[in-house]
Amino acid sequence: MEVQLPNITLDLLVLLAIIISASKAGGALSKLIGQPAVFGELLVGLALGPTLVNLLHVPIFNPANVPYLALVIKQIAELGVIWLMFLAGLETDIGEMTRVGLASFNGALGGVLLPLAAGTVAAITLGHYQFSEAIFIGTILTATSVSISAQTLIELRQLRSKEGATILGAAVIDDVMGLIILSLVIAFFSQTAGATTAGVTGVLFIIVKMLVFFAASIFLGMVIFRKLGELSERMAGSEVLLALVLAVVMVYAWAAQVLGAVAPITGAYIAGVMFAQTRFRERIEQGFRALSYGLFVPVFFVSIGLEANARTLSGSINFTLVIVGLAILTKLVGSALGTKLSGFGWGEAVRVGIGMISRGEVALIVAGYGLEHRIIDEGIFSIMVIMTLATTLITPILLRLSFPRRREAAGS
């Protein structure tokens, strides 16, 4: 039997027009008060979400279309963060990243262990949660998503700095460490010893998949990306280079999760780093910047606020504040100490720690997994959404304050 889906095109056109216009207005106002544009765009998302306006449920939209609209916006947002991290890869100075490799590893390690321990202890002692729930809360706190930090660093023209390279490198390592911890937590909380053994074996298999993916993706980038660019010059048609690069980024993002067991944004970032080594970098960046900042990235920033509902936290305000405070302090302190031990000055180390604070979509993915598999309940999930939003909002402010003032780049 054929399933009839509703036609949401007209509602979607209005919704996107509101989101994009409001996002750009928020970004412009944010710059007027000396903050990065991304801060205003995130606040707009919070205002448009269920906390205040509840945009998807205003009378101009057909109520039957709302679930489909929400799904489409979420998918556009996910594409937005993939394009954003690809652009961050294009901006990355691979020579500087190589020089700060040890600092990136230590920063990631400190930024994983301290939030994991502090989040678990706080959930048991203050939240009175069971150990399985508490360690999962700690696991969520280990996440880092530098999509917001990357955008802020681009605006501040600091992405190619020593600290910027360290933050981006640490974020990739953090992604790997966080997934290993998540896999271990799930494995060791299985019902039977046999399941636990199988789970540990699965973790080892995941590590192997990660290593193979990183090696293969970098090797392919070195071998074929330049040839793809040259091929585009010989092909008839408009924007052939941009189309081919789009296809490659999509495949890398897909392969990162399906084949490499890491986040899609990691695959997109690697693709960006590899394309940055070709003579086509500037042409690619120009095309992607217009595509990304015109539609996809504004939707991504606003969508974070659309998922947060502070009204559901009336009975958990104190614990929510504790989790938010721990999320900020433990990531900052842990990552800063790790990089300080690698020879960074205190100012440089603190800037790296600040850049690692934002949890972004990575924490939401982990929390969503826990909710779907009934490891945590909806109350904990709501707390994690607010924590994600709070860390995402504060990161660009602190980065702006921590870096010396420079002329900012247009782009958001």
What is the SS3 assignment for the chain? CCCCCCCCHHHHHHHHHHHHHHHHHHHHHHHHCCCCHHHHHHHHHHHHCCCCCCHHHCCCCCHHHHHHHHHHHHHHHHHHHHHHHHHHHHCCCHHHHHHCHHHHHHHHHHHHHHHHHHHHHHHHHCCCCCHHHHHHHHHHHCCCCCHHHHHHHHHCCCCCCHHHHHHHHHHHHHHHHHHHHHHHHHHHCCCCHHHHHHHHHHHHHHHHHHHHHHHHHHHHHHHHHHHHHHHHHHCCCCCHHHHHHHHHHHHHHHHHHHCCCCCHHHHHHHHHHHHCCCCCHHHHHHHHHHHHHHHHHHHHHHHHHHCCCHHHHCCCHHHHHHHHHHHHHHHHHHHHHHHHCCCCCHHHHHHHHHHCCCCHHHHHHHHHHHHHCCCCCHHHHHHHHHHHHHHHHHHHHHHHHHCCCCCCCCCC
Is pLDDT of 339 > 70? yes
In a domain, 173, yes or no: yes
Which residues are CB-neighbours of 207 under 8 A, at least 6 positions away?
Answer: 180
Q: Residue 336 has what pLDDT?
A: 96
Do the Cβ atoms of 92 and 168 come closer than 8 Å? yes
**pLDDT at residue 374 in the model:** 78
Q: Is the residue at 27 inside a domain? A: yes
Longest dimension (CA), the chain: 66
What is the model's pLDDT at position 141? 94
pLDDT for residue 192 is more than 90: no
pLDDT confidence band for 412 (50 / 70 / 90): very low
Torsion of CA 394, 399, 400, 402, to 10 degrees: 120
Q: Which tokens belong to 303?
A: 């969508």
* Closest to 385 in 3D by CA, of 351, 354, 355, 359: 359
Locate 160 and state its tokens: 């190619």
What is the rounded average pLDDT of the residues 378-405? 84
Extract the tokens encoding 185. Answer: 């937590």
Rg of the Cα trace of the chain?
21
Tell whether the model's pLDDT for residue 195 goes beyond 50.
no
Model confidence over 228-265: pLDDT tens digits?
999 988 888 888 999 999 999 999 999 988 888 777 87
Domain count along the chain = 1
Query: Of 161, 144, 146, which is closest to residue 110 (Cα–Cα)?
Result: 144
Question: pLDDT at position 335, please?
Answer: 95
Confirm whether 146 is domain-assigned.
yes
pLDDT of residue 389 exceeding 50: yes
Cα separation, 258 vs 173, in Å, equals 18
Q: What is the pLDDT of residues 264-287, one digit of tens each?
A: 878 888 899 899 989 999 899 888
Is the pLDDT reported for residue 15 higher than 50? yes
Q: What's the average model confidence in pLDDT over 55-67?
A: 89
Q: Is residue 271 part of a domain?
A: no
Q: Tell me the C-alpha to C-alpha distance, in Å, between residue 335 and each of 239, 301, 338, 351, 408.
A: 41, 25, 5, 9, 26
Pair of tokens at residue 1: 């039997």
pLDDT at residue 35 tops 80: no
First to last CA, the chain: 46
Residue 114, pLDDT score: 96
Residue 125 included in any domain? yes
Q: Please state, in angstroms and rounded to a whole number, the distance separating the CA atoms of residues 245 and 107.
A: 32
Question: Is residue 349 very low, low, confident or very high in pLDDT (cuts 50, 70, 90)?
Answer: very high
Residue 125: what pLDDT? 93
The answer to whether residue 350 is domain-embedded is: yes
Structure confidence at residue 147 (pLDDT) = 75
Q: Give CA–CA dist 341/344, Å, rounded.
A: 7
Tell how far CA 57 is from the center of its chain: 27
Q: Could you tell me if residue 332 is inside a domain?
A: yes
Query: In the predicted model, what is the mean pLDDT of residues 360-386?
Result: 77
C-alpha to C-alpha distance for 112 and 335, rounded to whole angstroms: 8
In a domain, 234, yes or no: no
- Find the CATH number of the domain harbouring 164: 1.20.1530.20
Average pLDDT, the chain: 84
The boundaries of the domain holding residue 180 are 9-194+289-402
Residue 81: name the closest of 265, 254, 287 by CA: 265
